[in-house]
Amino acid sequence: MTAGRSWEGRARRRGRHSLRVMDHPLPTRRRRLRSLTRLDVSAVSIARREVVWLWSLVSIAAVTLVAVGWPVTASGYGTHPAAAMAFTLVNCAAAILAMRWPWAGLSASIAGSAALTVVTAGAAPEWPWPWPVTVLLAHCLTVFVLALRHSWYWASSLWLAGAMLTVLAPAALSDGGHPAAFANGVVLVSLSGGFALFGVLVRLWSLSVLRMEQAERLSATETGRRRELEERNRIARELHDVVAHSMSVITVQASTARYRQPGLDEAVQREFEEIAASSRRALGEMRGLLGILRGHDTAPTAPLPTLSDVTGLIESTRASGVAITYREAHPGDAAGDVGDGAGTESADEGDAVPEVVGLTAFRVVQEALSNALRHAPGSAITVTVTDDGHVLRVAVSNTPPDRDDEPTPGARLGLAGIRERVTALGGTVSAGPTLDGGFQLTAILPVEDPDPIPA
C-alpha cells in the first residue's frame, strides 16, 4: 500500500514537472529560428525563409572560398601568406556584405579583386591570371548576390568593373607573360554575366511569389470577413425568427384579451393595449434592423426617432407603472419638470438639434430606461435633457429598487453600444452607481457640427 502511494506521488510530481516544462516556452530566438527553417509554408513568409537560406548558403560559400583560396594564392602564386589571407578575406567577404549593403559589397569585391590581381601578377604562365579560380568564383558569387538582393544596376556595375579590370590588368602588369589572360578574361566576363542574369531572374520570381502570397493572404482575409458577415446575417435571421414569434404571440394575446377575458375594466384594457402597441413597435424595429443587416432595398424607410420623440418614449414607459420625472432645458429656457402626461412643449426646441445627435440622445434614454426597468424594478427614474447650444447633456438616474426581484437577463451590450454611438460623435459617456445606491447614466453630446454618423 505504501509502495503504491509512493508510486502515485512520483507520478504526480513527474506530471507537475512536465506541466511546468510545457508552461515555459522555448526562447524567442530559438522559436524564430525553427519557424524560419522548417518547411511549413503557412508558418512564415516564403520571402523570409528564402532570405534565411540565402544568408546560410552565401556564408558557407564564402568560408569555403577563403579556406581554399588562401593556401592556393599563397603557395601556387608565390604570394606572402599574410597578404594572401587579407586580400582573400576582403574578396570573399564582399558577398556577405552585399547581402545587406550593396555599396559595401561592390567596393570590397573591386578592392579585393584588384589587390589579388596585383599580387598574383608574377605567377607562372600555367596558373590562370588575372583571375585566379577562387577570385573568379568569389566575384561571380558577389555578382549573383547583388542581382538577387538589390536593383539590377548594382550587379551590372560590378560586372562592368570586372570587365574593365580584365582589360586593364594585362596591359598594366603583364608584358605578354600570360598568354592565356585573354581567355581567362572571357571566362570571367561570360560567367559573371550569366550569374547576374540568373540572379535577376530569381529575383523577379521571388517578387512574383511574394506578391502572390500577399494576394492569397488578402483574399483569405476578405473571405474570412465575408464569412463573418454571412454568419452575422444568419444569426440575425434566426434571432428575428425566434424573437418575432414571441413578440407576435404577446401582441395577439394583448390585443385579444378583452375578447377572451370579458368583464375587464377600462384601466386593464388600456394596459393590454399599451402592451400590444409596444410589442408591435418592437417587432417593426427588429424587422427594419434585419432588413438593414441583410442589405435588402426593401428595408423600412420610416423616419428615425429624434430628441422630440423622447417624450413619447417616456409616456409609453410610464404606462407600465414606473414613476418617471422628465426635465428638459434648451437655450433661453429654464429647466422645468414636464410632469405626468406633459412633455410636448419642447418638441420644437428638440427639432433644432441635429438629427444624428437627437437620434443618439433618444437611444441613450431608451437604453437607460430599459436598464432601470430590468435591473432596478420599482425604482423612481429621473430623466434630464439639457441643451445649452453647444453640448446636449442627457442624464438618466434611478433610485435603488424597492423590491428584491431577480433582474431580467440581458445581452450586456447596451452600454457598449451607447458608448460607441456617443464616442463616434465626439461625446463622452459616464455610468456608475450613485451615493444613495442607485445608478446614473450621463452622456454629453456636442451639438455644433457633429460628424454625420449613420444610425
Question: Tell me: the pLDDT tens digits for 369-388?
Answer: 888 887 888 889 999 999 88
Strand arrangement of the beta sheet that strand 381-387 belongs to: 336-337, 324-329, 381-387, 391-398, 439-446, 428-433
The answer on 66 and 6 residing in a single domain is: no
C-alpha distance from residue 42 to each of 36, 130, 171, 298 (Å) = 11, 48, 56, 43
Which residue type occupies 47?
A: A
CATH number for position 323 = 3.30.565.10
The region of weakest confidence among 67-76, 240-249, 279-288 is 240-249
More confident residue, 360 or 24: 360
Q: Is the link from the previous residue into 130 a cis peptide, with omega within 30 of 0?
A: yes
Q: 3-state class of 444 per DSSP?
A: strand
Domain count, the chain: 3
More confident residue, 427 or 403: 427
CA atoms lying within 13 Å on the CB side of residue 385: 28
Q: Which of 196, 220, 244 is the last residue of a domain?
A: 220
The verdict on residue 272 lying in a domain is no
When pLDDT is averaged across residues 220-235 and rounded to a whole number, the result is 79
Predicted pLDDT at 440: 93
Predicted pLDDT at 104: 92
Q: CA nearest 422: which of 439, 440, 397, 447?
A: 447
Predicted pLDDT at 285: 75
The answer on 67 and 210 residing in a single domain is: yes
C-alpha distance from residue 235 to each of 243, 294, 412 (Å) = 12, 11, 17
For the chain, count helices (H), then strands (E): 14, 6
The verdict on residue 276 lying in a domain is no
The answer on 111 and 12 residing in a single domain is: no
Q: CA nearest 105: which of 118, 115, 90?
A: 90
pLDDT at residue 392 greater than cutoff 90: yes
When pLDDT is averaged across residues 16-43 and rounded to a whole number, the result is 42
| 444 bridge partner residues | 393, 428
Predicted pLDDT at 9: 52
The answer on 30 and 53 residing in a single domain is: no
The region of weakest confidence among 256-270, 354-368, 398-412 is 398-412
| pLDDT digits 0-9 by tens, 311-320 | 988 988 887 7
The answer on 126 and 32 residing in a single domain is: no
When pLDDT is averaged across residues 202-230 and rounded to a whole number, the result is 84
Task: Give Cβ neighbours of residue 278 (< 8 Å, ≥ 6 apart).
Answer: 316
Q: Which of 168, 193, 220 is the last residue of a domain?
A: 220
When pLDDT is averaged across residues 36-58 and rounded to a whole number, the result is 60
The answer on 91 and 11 residing in a single domain is: no
pLDDT confidence of 425, banded at 50, 70, 90? confident
Q: CA nearest 79: which of 116, 110, 131?
A: 116
The verdict on residue 16 lying in a domain is yes
pLDDT at residue 62 greater than cutoff 60: yes
The region of weakest confidence among 2-16, 30-44, 235-249 is 30-44
Percentage of the residues of the chain whose pLDDT score is greater than 90:
17
Q: Which of 176, 204, 220 is the last residue of a domain?
A: 220
The verdict on residue 297 lying in a domain is no
Q: CA nearest 159: which of 179, 136, 178?
A: 136
More confident residue, 229 or 394: 394
The verdict on residue 63 lying in a domain is yes
The verdict on residue 266 lying in a domain is no
When pLDDT is averaged across residues 133-137 and rounded to a whole number, the result is 90
C-alpha distance from residue 150 to each of 96, 142, 156, 170, 213 (Å) = 13, 11, 11, 31, 20
Predicted pLDDT at 45: 53
Predicted pLDDT at 394: 95
Predicted pLDDT at 384: 94
The answer on 185 and 52 residing in a single domain is: yes
The region of weakest confidence among 22-31, 59-68, 216-225 is 22-31
More confident residue, 392 or 20: 392
More confident residue, 354 or 42: 354
The whole-angstrom separation of Cα 247 and Cα 276 is: 9
The verdict on residue 298 lying in a domain is no
Predicted pLDDT at 417: 77
The answer on 85 and 28 residing in a single domain is: no
The verdict on residue 267 lying in a domain is no
The answer on 185 and 309 residing in a single domain is: no
Domain that holds residue 417: 305-455
| 441 bridge partner residues | 396, 431
The answer on 406 and 340 residing in a single domain is: yes
How would you class 362 by CB atoms within 10 Å of its CB: exposed for 0-12, middle for 13-18, buried for 19 or more? buried
The answer on 170 and 59 residing in a single domain is: yes
Percentage of the residues of the chain whose pLDDT score is greater than 70:
72
The answer on 342 and 375 residing in a single domain is: yes
The whole-angstrom separation of Cα 378 and Cα 374 is: 10
